[in-house]
Amino acid sequence: MKGVSFSYGSRSVLDSISLRAEEGEFLALLGINGSGKSTLLDIISGFRRPETGSVTISGRSQQQWSRREIAQQVSHLPQAIHADLPFTAEQLVGMGRYPHTDRWFESHEDHRHIRAAMERTSCWAQRHRSFGSLSGGERQRVLLAACLAQDAAALLLDEPSTFLDIEQQLHCFSVLREEAQEGKLCIAATHDLNLALTYCTRLLVLANGVIAYDIRTTEAHDDKDWLSLFSKRLDMGTTPAGSPWVWYQ
């Protein structure tokens, strides 16, 4: 991203944002409510057009990619999806394969990706259930599976651990870290600072329309000023293993 700006009416949300992210990175996108995290992800995925600036994917301007080509390169888990979609869990995950299918026909390769993604997110047992009958956490795991099945080079995830219990939150971020270690780019918007510190490689903190901090996770405890952008009741120490950890006062 280079010089990207975006406004909702008279309210500026992003102000000349520039950002470079590489394959193999797992970025945590942080910021208080309304700081522009979802908007930034929407712009990278092509769902919103920036007012100024440009987005480049793999050295090629986003505007030169077709929607199908972008979908082959970038998967996007939005913050909210209607629960009353008239599909089974397996059908919804199968939609992640549409950028790769021959028209509407799914191949053996597609079905292999679908099953692998659902098993990886612990929702294969719910494959025949209607999406609307699932709990919030079960739906979230299905949506994450759809992103994985898409097999894109970059995964953009807007609060991927929403509705998940603690074990599934840890599993979700573990899976995303594995995706990054296998060479993909993962960018996750989250409010959970400790998940970000534990699993991500880099922290991007949005505030007042700009990237206020861009920090390697391993260096997050060198300058704790970034915590004040979230709350004055936060402090940072280290875990027994020496990793940074945020606690509440």
Cα 58 → chain centroid: 18
Structurally, at CATH architecture level, domain 22-45+61-248 sits in: 3-Layer(aba) Sandwich (3.40)
The pLDDT of 214-228, averaged and rounded, is 93
Q: What is the model's pLDDT at position 158?
A: 97
User: For residue 88, which phi and psi values (nearest 5 degrees)?
Assistant: -75, 165
Span 133-142, pLDDT tens digits = 999 999 999 9
Span 2-61, pLDDT tens digits = 999 999 999 999 999 999 999 999 999 999 999 999 999 999 999 999 999 999 999 999
- Which residue shows structure tokens 């394959």? 23
Q: What is the model's pLDDT at position 105?
A: 64
Span 157-175, pLDDT tens digits = 999 999 999 999 999 999 9
Question: What's the one-letter identity of residue 217?
Answer: T
Q: Flag whether pLDDT at 214 surpasses 90.
A: yes
Instruction: List C-alpha distances in Å: 215 to 112, 212, 218, 224.
Output: 37, 10, 8, 11
Q: Flag whether pLDDT at 190 surpasses 90.
A: yes
Question: What's the one-letter identity of residue 19?
Answer: L
Question: What's the one-letter identity of residue 75?
Answer: S
User: Which among 121, 203, 197 is positioned nearest to 164, based on CA atoms?
Assistant: 121
Q: What is the model's pLDDT at position 202?
A: 98
Distance CA 115, CA 121 (A): 10
Q: What is the model's pLDDT at position 81?
A: 81
For residue 41, what is the enclosing H or E element?
helix 37-45
Annotated domain spans of the chain:
22-45+61-248
Contact residues for 96 (Cβ-Cβ < 8 A; gap 6+): 75, 113, 114, 117, 145, 146, 147, 148, 149, 150
Strand partners, 199: none
Q: What is the model's pLDDT at position 247?
A: 94
Span 60-113, pLDDT tens digits = 999 999 988 999 999 999 987 877 888 999 999 999 998 887 666 678 889 999
Q: What is the model's pLDDT at position 104?
A: 63
Q: Enter the pTM of the model.
A: 0.94
- Sheet with strand 11-17: strands edge to edge: 11-17, 2-8, 52-54
